[in-house]
Amino acid sequence: MGKPPTKVGFREYAIYQIYPKSFRDTTGSGIGDLRGVIEKIPYIASLGIDMIWFNPFFVSPQRDGGYDVADYYNIDPAIGTMDDFDELVRALADNGIGVMLDMVLNHTSTEHEWFQKALAGDKKYQDFYIIRPPALGSGRPYPRRPARRAADGGLPTNWESKFGGPAWAPFGDTGNYYLHLYDPTQADLNWRNPEVRDEMVKIVNFWRAKGIHGFRFDVINVIGKAAELKSSAPGEDPRYMYTDGPDVNAYLQQLNAESFGQDPDSVTVGEMSSTSIQNCVEYSNPDNHELDMVFSFHHLKVDYLNGQKWSNVRFNPIDLKRTLNEWALGMQEGNGWNALFLNNHDQPRSVNRFGDPTTYRVESATMLATMIHMLRGTPYIYMGEEIGMTDPEYHSIDDYVDVEARNAYNALIDQGVDAAEAFAIVHSKARDNSRTPMQWDDSPNAGFTTGTPWLRPTNQEHINVAAEEQGGKILAYYKKLIRLRKQHLAISIGEYQPYQLDHPQVYAFTRTHEDEKLLVIINLSDKEIACDIPEDFATGEVLIANYPNPTVADTIQLHPYEALTLKKEVVA
């Protein structure tokens, strides 16, 4: 082996994501809490992960699962106390695990003190938000209902909310509107105001002072809105009027310089909405002093029919692997860095989406894990992914809590879609699919709570941590992948190159660092597939495989959802 670099840092990390509301409830309230995380630290530590990304647990009315923050400096009482948080941070540190907090800095809850002061007429705080008069020439007062559209342009722009409907709502009784790219209770902040940027720095520094060096920035590439907001032209996607604006880089550089960039061990990731490779290179290239890595979502849109999320179609393996390959090569060429994932709190479970949750659940889960952990970037593991959790077996929209899912269902019904089909569409994409409680055992509430869970689990009888720990295959496989990442620099920092990119079902690629080269072979289908491999790998060592005793030859016969990684030494 060649001499490794002195510091690999976050590139070597495996990061675990916890949605606190659904992890473990210790009070019987039906809502997960920080003490539940403390209770499960031995399990978390057993995974071998380096850091936990926590979804927001700040004070919030919970209109959008905590992403509507009313107070950035305090813990929501339903989740715990600041003493609980401090104890959690210490206990994780004792186990060598860092903490990554979710910073929601594009918008606040309308219950936030700033917005309430703005509503009361405080000019300073009105400039904290994006407030505009009705469009010129509307000819009549602003519409009283946010969902109403004036034919002559009553709303300031034609922008759509990510959750459906217009992105503007009446600002009190002033006749003006405030911008909300998400729920109407989430008012977008005006980052053009330097006082707002100073407040954002203060928030990050408050948590840094409490020993936090990991930060995930929610939808951070939409903070750079222009001074003059314009409607999109007919047929043009309005998202591009406010996404990846020219000021985002400067705002991130300021935030970096005045807060987390002062910590040599900081780890930062930005969630990027409707972005591009070039922009993500700029955000994550270390020379730019912005962020360490980025979440992008193009690979999770390969099962969108005509680009529409609320559709129910099966993905094409060619589309998935070509998208992953494009981002891997593009980010590598520009010295950017990907945050790798298939699961998170906003996505349906990947086993349902890209595998087979019934006949080949174990094989699907381990195959998808291999693909993500072997690509170039830092892998994120969403709670329950490591035991192969699947989408809940719901049968009614009433089972869902999430505002986005309910809005989508109602919109589909309004469009004339049959109720059964509308539910099937929502069930295939709903964010709540991943928010069901962590399944610790096979008891009625999955060991999550002694009370009534806020969201109902459905298949814990055969998918749970206890069963995996007693002899399951998925959990042990994840632990091995995490160990391998720390043992092989070809995985953590090696060069990526695709192999046989045109194969209709197989995604294969190499990872190379100095004298070590790996070949990763992934069967993305439920069919037995033949795959030719390079002659020099036919005698290679099997580093990890999700089927027992794989036969390695010039042509490998792959089982359904089979994945294996071969290793060879590079001869100089």
Active-site positions read 218, 271
The single residue listed with the structure tokens 């980010």 is 331
Cα distance between residue 380 and residue 494, in whole Å = 18
Determine how β-strand 15-18 pairs with β-strand 378-382.
Answer: parallel
C-alpha distances in Å from residue 34, one per residue of 85, 213, 218, 464: 7, 19, 21, 21
Give the Cα-Cα-Cα angle 461, 434, 51 (nearest 5 degrees).
Answer: 105
Residue 299: count of CB within 10 angstroms of its CB: 21
The single residue listed with the structure tokens 């946010």 is 146
The one-letter amino acid code at 506 reads V
Give the Cα-Cα-Cα angle 341, 510, 570 (nearest 5 degrees).
Answer: 140
Q: What are phi and psi of 361, to 5 degrees?
A: -60, -50
3-state DSSP of 204-220: HHHHHCCCCCEEEECCH
Give the Cα-Cα-Cα angle 561, 566, 571 (nearest 5 degrees).
Answer: 155
Beta bridge partners of 103: 217
C-alpha distances in Å from residue 91, one per residue of 40, 86, 104, 222: 11, 9, 25, 35
The one-letter amino acid code at 160 reads E
Q: What are phi and psi of 415, to 5 degrees?
A: -80, -5
Give the Cα-Cα-Cα angle 134, 136, 141 (nearest 5 degrees).
Answer: 45
51: alpha, beta or left, given left = phi > 0 and alpha = psi -120 to 50? beta
Closest CA to 502 of 300, 333, 315, 319: 319
Cα distance between residue 385 and residue 369, in whole Å = 9
Cα distance between residue 196 and residue 126, in whole Å = 11
514: alpha, beta or left, given left = phi > 0 and alpha = psi -120 to 50? left
Cβ within 8 Å of residue 340, ≥6 positions away: 372, 373, 375, 377, 378, 379, 380
- Cβ atoms of residues 152 and 138 within 8 Å: yes
Cα distance between residue 355 and residue 561, in whole Å = 8
Cα distance between residue 46 and residue 97, in whole Å = 11
Q: Which two tokens stand for residue 49?
A: 């992960």
Cα distance between residue 420 and residue 337, in whole Å = 42
Distance of CA 56 to the CA centre of its chain: 13
Residue 419: count of CB within 10 angstroms of its CB: 12
Closest CA to 382 of 10, 52, 80, 40: 52
Cβ within 8 Å of residue 151, ≥6 positions away: none
